[in-house]
Structure 1
Amino acid sequence: MAFLRRLGWYLVGLSIGLIFLVFFLKKKSGEEGIEFCYLPNCRVLKDMRSKTLTFDENLPEQYKDTLLIKAFLTDGDVDFGNSDTKSEPCKTYLIENEGKVLKAQSCAEKIVIQEINN
């Protein structure tokens, strides 16, 4: 009888855990999209997407396109080897996407797009 009681409690806990897991994973894959950023690339891009976007005055007009910049900040890969992540007050990042390289400064409240190279 003790085994059946333990098995019952195990199944109750397992079912509660499964319900929680289904709810959580459905929310993650839904339109609300809970995003898990554990890797440095994801964390840097998520932080940059949360700041206001400004453009350097030397940047050509053809690159002052927010859709282009959004593509860099969602699908880009940060080149940490060539980026200056230790500078103060703004860190400089090089982000690669589709053969182009974006150079941006990430300050406390804003990001400044400096240049885009092919």
Structure 2
Amino acid sequence: MKFSQRLAYYLFGLLIGCIFLLYFFGEKKTEFCYLPNCRVLKELRTKPMTYSPEADSILQQNWVEKKDIEKILQHGKVDFSKSNIEFENGKIYIINGINKKNESITIKVINYSNDSKLYDIVKNNAFP
């Protein structure tokens, strides 16, 4: 069997295998989350979220909404130099993101073992 025929069989098998994997992984809605930023955000998203009185008062000012917080927990950037610090029987995480008006904001979230708590929301003057 010539090299070109072996290559054709190999590529055909590879194509069938890729289609097979895409079909099964697409149905499961799997997410590959191995980087530290992604892992922290995923852990915070999967736990029930409570709000501190300070965060509630800021949310009532209408410059930031709960949808903005959800978006930051999906696509934000964790500031690890200021995060992962013991705080109130949990660990605090500082996450930077933007709201619907493209304003840079920072949220502080406390990660407890069973839930997470939105502790504070701060509007930044500079873009992230």
Q: Structure 2: any 5+ residue segments left out of the alignment? A: 99-103, 124-128
Mapped pair 1:21 → 2:18: yes
Secondary structure of 2:86's aligned partner = coil
Q: TM-score, normalised by structure 2?
A: 0.69
- Percent identity reads 31
User: What is the CA-CA distance between 1:32 and the residue it aligns to?
Assistant: 5.5
Q: Could you tell me whether the CA contact under 8 Å between 2:85 and 2:93 is conserved in 1?
A: no
Question: What is the match of residue 77 of structure 2?
Answer: 77
1:1-118 → structure 2 map (5 Å cutoff): 4=1, 15-26=12-23, 30=26, 33-63=29-59, 65-83=65-83, 85-87=84-86, 89-98=89-98, 99-118=104-123
Runs of 4+ in structure 1 deviating by more than 6 angstroms, as ranges, are 7-13
Q: What's the C-alpha RMSD, in Å, of the aligned pairs?
A: 3.0
Give the length in aligned residue pairs: 113
Q: TM-score, normalized by length of structure 1?
A: 0.74
Q: How far does the alpha carbon of each residue in 1:21-72 deviate from its partner, in whole angstroms, 9 at most, with x for none? A: 22323555x5854211111001110111110010012324342743122111
Cα offset, 1:19, TM superposition? 2.2
Instruction: Answer whether contact 1:48 1:111 (CA < 8 A) is retained.
Output: yes
Question: Could you tell me whether the CA contact under 8 Å between 2:58 and 2:121 is conserved in 1?
Answer: no
Gaps of 5+ in 1: none
